[in-house]
């Protein structure tokens, strides 16, 4: 039996309500596809789109590990105002957001970005430096324009393995990362 592929699911943790309503079913399909492929899924133990995808992935057979930036449950819930439900395991990485981002990306073999803001941008940059393939939703908003513009300006890194995809088409891309 082959080992499951390891996927980081990153993205906007506090989406505007209209964005969440617009993309929720497609995010659930991404989660189902990860579950059906038997993925080991790492999320930032936050709410929003990564939580929705993670919950659906868990319900569909994936193991979901929420990686908290906190040192313990009280810091996770208090200082970081993050949920405790929806993860098969809640892992306290400690040392704040940067440590969590680096840990989560390094554990993955592929990164799925579901929109996002500055935290997602940081995670995507870590993924580029760690040479992890990124599949990013092109139609959720926020980070797409910024990262595309920034990468076009840089020539110091090799071209990253970055695929922009409409969210509705991401489940089909997950197929290539499934078990052999």
Convert the pLDDT of each residue in 125-177 to its tens digit: 999 999 999 999 988 877 766 787 777 777 766 778 888 899 999 999 998 77
> Can you list the residues of the chain whose pLDDT is less than 70?
1-3, 144-145, 156-157, 178-180
| 166 closest CA partner among 144, 146, 150, 151 | 144
Task: Name 18's Cβ contacts closer than 8 Å, sequence gap at least 6.
Answer: none
Which CATH number does the domain housing residue 132 bear?
3.40.50.450
Number of C-beta neighbours around residue 72 at 10 A: 11
Range of the domain at 23: 6-172
**Is residue 90 included in any domain, yes or no?**
yes
CA angle 98, 13, 108 (to 5 degrees): 55
pLDDT of residue 144: 64
Tell me the torsion sign for CA atoms 79, 102, 153, 113. negative
Measured between alpha carbons, how far is 45 from 51 in angstroms, rounded to an integer?
7
Q: For residue 11, report the phi and psi dihedrals to the nearest 5 degrees.
A: 150, -170
**Is residue 75 included in any domain, yes or no?**
yes
Question: How many domains are there within the chain?
Answer: 1
Helix ranges, 10-84 (H): 17-36, 48-59, 73-77
pLDDT of residue 178: 64
pLDDT of residue 10: 96
């Amino acid at each position: 039996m082959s080992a499951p592929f390891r996927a980081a699911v990153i993205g906007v943790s506090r989406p505007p309500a209209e964005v969440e309503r617009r993309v929720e079913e497609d995010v659930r399909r991404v989660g189902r596809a990860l579950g059906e492929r038997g993925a080991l899924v790492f999320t930032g133990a936050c709410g929003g789109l990564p939580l929705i995808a993670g919950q659906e992935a868990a319900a569909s057979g994936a193991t979901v590990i929420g990686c908290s930036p906190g040192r313990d449950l009280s810091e996770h819930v208090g200082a970081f105002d993050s949920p405790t439900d929806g993860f098969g395991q809640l892992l306290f990485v400690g040392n704040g957001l940067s440590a969590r981002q680096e840990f989560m990306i390094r554990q993955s073999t592929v990164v799925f970005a579901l929109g996002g803001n500055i935290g997602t941008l940081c995670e995507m940059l870590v993924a580029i430096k760690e040479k992890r393939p990124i599949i990013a939703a092109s139609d959720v908003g926020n980070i797409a324009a910024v990262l595309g513009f920034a990468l076009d300006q840089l020539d110091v890194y090799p071209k990253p393995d970055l695929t922009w995809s409409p969210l509705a088409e991401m489940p089909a891309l997950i197929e290539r990362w499934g078990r052999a």
